[in-house]
Amino acid sequence: MQSRSTPSTRAGGRPRSTEADTAILEATRQALVDLGWTKLTLGDVATRAGVAKTTLYRRWAGKSELVVDAVAELFDELELPDSGSLATDIEGVVLQFAALLGRPETKTALMAVVAESTTDEPLRERIRASIVDRQKRLVLAGRARAQDRGELPAEPDTAAAARTADLIFDVIAGAVVHRALVSAEPVDAEWAEQFTSLVLGGLSAVSGRGPTAVPSAPDTAP
């Protein structure tokens, strides 16, 4: 999950406890729930995990890195539902993501680490690798499936395809986050439906960029 991937200098000595890792990440999430990002302290996490502070610092560089790893695990739960149509697939993902953002540990941590990352480039990379990419694959998978179904045309220009995927991703993730955390309004089925309708309508305008018309939302067709 985190930094020590290569057992580089495989020397003698006691190996690190994997149970400690698990306990620390779980303790971190619980501390986020109980205290929120700001009042969470590494000393408290160590105590909750039944671990010395040094053990914690041996593995993570600081609070931000630890929290990124702790919440990243939650993003593994996200998956693309195969609901039969692109529209309901999007609605499903939107609601899943909203449910994740509704959890207190995610809510308080996500914006905080993003804020940190604006002045910490390595942290931004870690967030991208651990969190953002986990979300973006859903967009890519959704498009592939829609293309399989024939709901979307195949993309001949791979550069343009990547650009469009990025756009769609920022629109979906951005809108849900903004609705949930900034506007602080509920992301319910009704909103998800209206939003999906907008995205699909816009998608044809964008990807089309010409006469490539697509039946955006099946329920709007009489």
Partner DNA sequence: ATCTAAACGAGACGGTACGTCCGGTCTTTTC
Partner DNA sequence: GAAAAGACCGGACGTACCGTCTCGTTTAGAT
Name the site residues for a copy of itself (rule: CB under 8 A). 36-38, 104, 107-112, 114-119, 124, 127-128, 132, 163-164, 166-167, 169-171, 173-179, 181-185, 191, 194-195, 197-206, 208-211, 216-217, 220, 222
Q: Rounded CA gap, 60 and 169, in Å? A: 30
Give least dist CB 192 to DNA, A: 37
Strand (E) or helix (H) holding 66: helix 63-75
How is residue 168 written in tokens?
């769609």
Q: Which window, 9-17, 67-75, 119-127, 198-206, contacts DNA (CB under 7 A)?
A: 9-17
In the region spanning residues 57 to 116, those forming contacts with DNA, defined by CB under 7 A, are 57-59, 62-63
Residues 6+ apart with CB under 8 A from 167: 206
The size of the interface with DNA (CB under 7 A), counted in residues, is 26
Task: Look at residue 144 and give the partner it binds from DNA, a copy of itself, none, a contact being a CB closer than 5 to 8 Å depending on partner kind.
Answer: none
Q: Which CB sits closer to a copy of itself, 96 or 204?
A: 204
User: Judged by CB under 7 A, which of 5, 6, 8, 11 binds DNA?
Assistant: 11
DSSP class of residue 174 equals H
User: Judged by CB under 7 A, which of 1, 22, 34, 41 binds DNA?
Assistant: 41
Alpha helices in the chain (DSSP H): 18-39, 42-49, 53-59, 63-75, 86-102, 104-117, 121-127, 133-149, 158-177, 189-208
Q: Rounded CA gap, 181 and 150, in Å? A: 35
Torsion of CA 17, 22, 28, 34, to 10 degrees: -130
DSSP class of residue 17 equals P
Q: Which CB sits closer to DNA, 116 or 151?
A: 116
Q: Which window, 13-21, 26-34, 108-116, 177-185, contacts DNA (CB under 7 A)?
A: 13-21
Q: Rounded CA gap, 48 and 34, in Å? A: 12
Neighbour count for residue 84 (Cβ, 10 Å): 10
Q: How many residues are present in the chain?
A: 222
User: Judged by CB under 7 A, which of 5, 8, 9, 158 binds DNA?
Assistant: 9
User: Judged by CB under 7 A, which of 48, 53, 124, 137 binds DNA?
Assistant: 53
Q: Which CB sits closer to a copy of itself, 69 or 216?
A: 216
Q: Rounded CA gap, 1 and 211, in Å? A: 46
Interacting residue ranges for DNA, rule: CB under 7 A: 9, 11-17, 20, 39-44, 50-55, 57-59, 62-63
